[in-house]
Amino acid sequence: MRKLKVIAALVAVRLVGCSACATADDSSSRFEHVMGELKATTPGDGLIAAEWYLVSLSMAGIAAKNLGRADELRWLTRRALDADVRAFDTRAWKSDALQTLDGGDGHAGYLGHAGLLLALECSAENAVLRRRVLGALERRYGEAPDALLETYPNQKWVPDNAVTLAAVAEGARCDGREVPARAWLARWPRDAKSGVLKFTPRSGARASGAGWNSYYLPFVDAAAARAQFEAAERVFLFDAVPGLAAWREYPPGVKGSGDVDSGPLVFGLSPSGTGFAIAGATLYGSKSRGGMLRTAEAAGITVPWRGLHYLLSPLVGQAAVLAAKTLH
């Protein structure tokens, strides 16, 4: 606690001139930057970099929908369908997700984000593909004993399923019909003490997963999504330093290290968990929202060139905060 207070004192100087960081509506400028970066970069060859590029497309798609940017949403959807964007998933499964829709392999890591973009776009142009992709996911959910799809062979992550289930629910909404998405969500594994959804079927709840879920579960079940966020906030929120807020990656009393999902932990606090949790805080009017945005500003430092963006944040972080700020 003492170390955290020292850090807070050091960043206070930075925040003195940023009293509007927690309230400014700068989404349009940040959107322009994210779109420019997505068009200027490629997924790369590494699994994690390629995953995060796809996530950035998905997060930017949520922002585009909320900002009424139809042309950009169309571009994001088409980009997500490109072979180089899904190559990481193809390598992992040794099969192409879009060429094996009649099969049973999950491909949740790719099909969730691509399917959600197709559903958000909801266009006649992509109607056939949208129904094929989301129909495949819907069928796989109906056949899954635990209502969870595999991200990669023999590997399941609950947050990835939050995306695939959001895609199925939003796609059905686009076509004017209903699917049993709420019933599938109700079967997912939860921490016995807090009720927060687990990170994987065999591991406990984590902030990076719970924060991430606050983007996607509202597409499935608004009431359940709010209950999940509020339960997670009770477990993970750290707000002992006035003016700042963050989420711990692990529940109090649980030890764990940082990884590609959480980012490097600082005294147990999670960069990803905190950034993602801004989504739920925005949707549900949490008093912690301002503190988390100030923490993001202290860690990232907003600069104005080529559109407002955080100087020290990766693209996926830019896209995640952007999407969170556009939620309503």
Per-residue pLDDT, 158? 98
Of the three residues 161, 185, 209, the one that is the final residue of a domain is 185
pLDDT greater than 90 at residue 317: yes
Stretch 309-321: mean pLDDT, rounded? 96
pLDDT greater than 90 at residue 25: no
Of the three residues 185, 202, 231, the one that is the final residue of a domain is 185
CA distance 247 to 237: 5
User: Taking the CB of residue 13, how many other CB atoms lie within 10 A of it?
Assistant: 9
Of the three residues 154, 185, 216, the one that is the final residue of a domain is 185
Per-residue pLDDT, 254? 95
Stretch 219-227: mean pLDDT, rounded? 98
Instruction: Let me know whether 64 and 92 are in one domain.
Output: yes
Instruction: Let me know whether 54 and 18 are in one domain.
Output: no
- Do the beta carbons of residue 147 and residue 190 sit within 8 Å? no
Per-residue pLDDT, 6? 38
Cα radius of gyration (the chain): 19
Per-residue pLDDT, 45? 81
Stretch 185-212: mean pLDDT, rounded? 98
11 — pLDDT class (breaks 50, 70, 90): very low
Instruction: Let me know whether 99 and 127 are in one domain.
Output: yes
Instruction: Let me know whether 176 and 48 are in one domain.
Output: yes
Instruction: Let me know whether 194 and 155 are in one domain.
Output: no
Show the domain range for 178: 43-185
Q: Which two tokens stand for residue 113?
A: 């984000």
- Do the beta carbons of residue 37 and residue 79 sit within 8 Å? no
- Do the beta carbons of residue 63 and residue 322 sit within 8 Å? yes
**Average per-residue pLDDT for the chain:** 93
pLDDT greater than 90 at residue 13: no
44 — pLDDT class (breaks 50, 70, 90): confident
How far is C-alpha 175 from the chain's CA centre? 24
Query: Could you write out the three-class secondary structure of the chain?
Result: CHHHHHHHHHHHHHHHCCCCCCCCCCHHHHHHHHHHHHHHCCCCCCHHHHHHHHHHHHHHHHHHHHHCCHHHHHHHHHHHCCHHHHHHHHHHHCCCCCCCCCCCCCCHHHHHHHHHHHHHHCCCCCHHHHHHHHHHHHHHHHHCCCCCCCCECCECCHHHHHHHHHHHHHHHHHCCCCCCHHHHHHCCCECCCCCCECCCCCCCCCHHHHHHHHHHHHHCCHHHHHHHHHHHHHHHEECCCCCCCEEECCCCCCCCCCECCCECCECCECHHHHHHHHHHHHHHCCCCHHHHHHHHHHHHCEECCCCCEECCCCHHHHHHHHHHHHCC
pLDDT greater than 50 at residue 17: no
Per-residue pLDDT reduced to its tens digit, 63-85? 999 999 999 999 999 999 999 99
Instruction: Let me know whether 194 and 322 are in one domain.
Output: yes
Among 1-10, 39-48, 133-142, the range scoring the smallest mean pLDDT is 1-10
User: Taking the CB of residue 82, how many other CB atoms lie within 10 A of it?
Assistant: 13
pLDDT greater than 60 at residue 4: no
Stretch 15-21: mean pLDDT, rounded? 43
Instruction: Let me know whether 218 and 305 are in one domain.
Output: yes
pLDDT greater than 90 at residue 269: yes
Query: Which one has a higher pLDDT value, 98 or 5?
Result: 98
Instruction: Let me know whether 194 and 315 are in one domain.
Output: yes
Stretch 18-32: mean pLDDT, rounded? 72
Query: Which one has a higher pLDDT value, 20 or 97?
Result: 97
Domain count, the chain: 2
Q: Which distant-in-sequence residues (6+ apart) come within 8 Å of 304 by Cβ?
A: none
pLDDT greater than 80 at residue 267: yes
Instruction: Let me know whether 178 and 199 are in one domain.
Output: no
pLDDT greater than 70 at residue 127: yes
CA distance 83 to 218: 29
Share of the chain above pLDDT 70, in %: 93
Per-residue pLDDT, 15? 42
**What burial class does residue 274 get, using C-beta atoms within 10 Å of its C-beta: 0-12 exposed, 13-18 middle, 19+ buried?**
buried
- Do the beta carbons of residue 43 and residue 49 sit within 8 Å? yes
Taking the whole predicted model, whether its pTM rises above 0.85 is answered as: yes
Instruction: Let me know whether 170 and 214 are in one domain.
Output: no
How far is C-alpha 85 from the chain's CA centre? 17
Instruction: Let me know whether 180 and 202 are in one domain.
Output: no
10 — pLDDT class (breaks 50, 70, 90): very low
Per-residue pLDDT reduced to its tens digit, 147-172? 999 999 999 999 999 999 999 999 99
24 — pLDDT class (breaks 50, 70, 90): low
- Do the beta carbons of residue 229 and residue 236 sit within 8 Å? no
Measured over all CA atoms, what is the biggest interatomic distance in the chain, rounded to whole angstroms? Answer: 58
Instruction: Let me know whether 52 and 130 are in one domain.
Output: yes
Per-residue pLDDT, 14? 44
